[in-house]
Chains A and B, each alone.
Chain A
Amino acid sequence: MTEELRMDRRANLRAMWTFVKRDLKIWTYFKLNFLIDIAGIFSNIAIYAIIAMVAGKAVESSLNPFGGDYASYVILGIIFNEIMSTSLSAPYWGTMDAFWTGRLEILMISPISTPLFVTGTSIGRYVRSLINVAFYLIFGALLFGLKLGGTINYGLAILYILVATIACTGLGLMGASLIYLIEARGGEDPIRWIVGILVGLASGVYYPLSILPQWMQWLGCLIPQTYALDAARRSMIGEAIRAKTLPIHGLFSASPMMVDMAALIAFSLVTVPLGWWMYNQGVRRAKMDGRLSRWV
């Protein structure tokens, strides 16, 4: 007689590694596309290096807390945002990919758990993102003069980005849940869309928040990316570690780095349980309506 299947820890790790291998194979399947992706990273950095040459002086005074060099400021912003935007979009694209390829139902009846399914369908994108980051760092340092500060604390920067990644994953889960809840299957969902706009406008990826009007600076405080970018940059290129760069810093006597960490933890505590709850509700709704696959 055949027996019930068991997924122990080793089986789960094997399943996870299988997801990674699959995603990397797909990514590198069309060699030309892979090369174009890498070339895209190069051109992206080149554009901002040129902007830094032309207009960097104009924002230099606003960049004092971050070392004063615009090229380094923006390259680090792009690198940190690459990781956070991956965690924002990976649950959505992982689920979408499974849905449109017809794999969603097949994985949903396999013994892998829903958290493993979400992580597995997302993990390849994180690996790709880390490879992209490596290219950004190499191009940035070798060709465009990425200057890191004298008191670099890589561990601290990674810690901030890690906590921000958790918070963004919560937002990403909320976005992914909308695939089931409102059939947001056209490549965009309202949550990622709104957060994406706020990131571009008011999180400080491309320019310091201090050059924006006060109300826009407060808008930036509504998303975790702003705190992560602020703290991670301070850790990598920061000099004036106690400078208050976000309006929310002025409300507390604690150091800005502490405020940033507290905010990121608060975001994580809210977004992850809420995102997870919404995702499960979405799956439940899809199972009620028969929308786990394109065909009933």
Chain B
Amino acid sequence: MGYAIEVLDLTKKFRKVKRIPTDAGFGEAHWIMALGLKLKFLKAEEMVAVDHVNLKVKEGELFGLLGPNGAGKTTLIKCLSTLLIPDGGSALINGYDVLRESDRVKRCINLVGSGNWIGFDWALTVRENLEFFANMYGLRSGVAKERIDEALKIVGLKEKEKETPSKISSGMRQKMIIAKGFIIRTPIFFMDEPTIGLDPVSAKDIRTYIKEKLSEELGETIVLTTHYMQEAEQLCDRIAIMDRGKIVACGTTRELKDMIVRQEVIEIEAINIGTKLTNEIRRIDLVDNVANHIDDEATLTGTIRIHTKDAELVLPAILNSIERNDGKVLHVAASQPTLEDVFMKLTGKGLME
């Protein structure tokens, strides 16, 4: 079995031009101010979105890209789907070079993004919108009808097929985007945070379809970006963890979790767990990493996950800290390592931070 995607040293930078006033550090250029000139200077700043990424995805593999917002997942997907031209490195999609053979690459890929009704026409019904895209991908009308029926059923939009996108909820519009992805069958399928904004039942149905139909039955190579670790864990054969444009680890869920096998994880559910408390816990001896998830912003109620070499030894100090910060402990437990713990160990922060 060969590779469907091969990425070698891929880099993508974005340049931002910023206006800076003359008095912001021009040193020798006092004469400008002396002349009373109100000049503005332009300064180009560079932001590295994808930083020397190397990656190989096998044919038929369901591959996950896990990382927080701004990690570079979408930019990487856009580079691989010919929507962005990389600044360095190369990538082969189904054996075709993304730069030199972009027309061939486009015949091999399908992309589902996230974000309400992007790309849909307000004047066309849900079905007409899907028919539009079916025709853009060269589907014959019989095949298109069959696939649209199936996709609408999977995402639960069959009853809304005659509505226009403006008359359905934002979650349903996201389902339209997914349905659009399901009617196109290509060797490689990029899914950029597809289940974002969906209710848990729909998200589960869609994950099942991706895994059982698209991956196992049709053998599509699927690259799924997400910041839902359960989604990545449940679906993906292998996962790459991205942070600040770099791939910091890549492997199966088991391989990734083995990276923190010598660490103990404490999970504390408590009230009033603000940033001050998190920083204080981080300073306690033998504590390696700390991440918190706030479930209720009003009372700052949520969960703190702490990586340590010796849970028994550090626990009293942690509980003291919580008490000192007017917190209230609801539940304490030793936890199994999750992908988020792997992420925390590799990057020093939580996925949602």
Contact = CB atoms under 8 A, between A and B. Distances in A.
Interface of A: 1-8, 11, 14-15, 17-18, 22, 25-26, 29, 101-103, 105-113, 284, 287-290, 292-293, 295-296
A4 B94 contact: yes
B26 interface: no
Given A3-B187, A5-B137, A296-B74, 16 more contacts: A4-B108, A5-B107, A6-B107, A8-B138, A15-B136, A15-B138, A101-B120, A102-B115, A102-B119, A109-B81, A110-B133, A111-B106, A111-B107, A284-B85, A288-B84, A293-B83
Contacts of B83: 105, 108-109, 287, 292-293
Q: Which of A4, A8, A108, A295 has most B Cβ within 10 Å?
A: A4
Contact of B107 (A4, A14, A17, A108): A4
8 cross-chain pairs, A with B, having the tightest CB-CB distances, nearest first: A102-B118, A11-B138, A18-B135, A29-B123, A4-B107, A106-B119, A103-B119, A287-B85
A169 B292 CA distance: 58
B136 A112 contact: yes
Given A111-B137, A112-B136, A4 B85 contact: no
B278 interface: no
B15 A296 contact: no
B23 interface: no
Nearest to A5: B107
Contacts of A111: 103, 106-107, 136-138
A105 to B, nearest CB: 6
Contact of B109 (A29, A109, A290, A292): A109
A213 B329 CA distance: 89
A20 to B, nearest CB: 11
Q: Which of A106, A108, A292, A296 has most B Cβ within 10 Å?
A: A106
Contact of B121 (A1, A3, A22, A105): A22
Nearest to A98: B119
Q: Is the interface of B mostly helix, strand, loop or mixed?
A: loop
B48 to A, nearest CB: 13
B85 A288 contact: yes
A160 B151 CA distance: 49
A3 B184 CA distance: 11
B106 A26 contact: no
B186 A18 contact: no
Contacts of B94: 4
Contacts of B75: 290, 296
B250 interface: no
B317 interface: no
Q: Which of B49, B107, B218 has most A Cβ within 10 Å?
A: B107
Contacts of B111: 106, 109
A5 B119 contact: no
B46 to A, nearest CB: 12
A14 B144 CA distance: 12
A18 B268 CA distance: 57
B220 A2 contact: yes
A17 B84 CA distance: 29
B123 A25 contact: yes
A26 B125 CA distance: 11
